[in-house]
Amino acid sequence: MRDARKPRREAGSPTMRIGLAWHILARPSGSIVWHNGGTGGYRSFAGFDPVRRVGVVVLCNNGNESMDDIGFNLLDQTLPLRPPPAQHTAVAVDSLILQRYVGEYELAPTFHLVITREAAHLFAQATAQPRFAIFAESDSTFFLKAVDAQLTFRTDGLVLHQNGQHVPGRKVH
Angle formed at CA 149 by CA 145 and CA 152, multiple of 5 degrees: 110
- Residue 154 pLDDT > 80, yes or no? yes
- Residue 129 pLDDT > 60, yes or no? yes
The pLDDT assigned to 65 comes to: 60
The pLDDT assigned to 83 comes to: 80
Q: What are the start-end ranges of the E strands in the chain?
A: 9-13, 16-18, 23-27, 30-39, 42-49, 54-60, 103-108, 111-118, 121-126, 131-136, 141-144, 149-154, 157-162, 165-171
pLDDT in tens, 56-87: 999 988 765 668 899 999 999 998 888 877 88
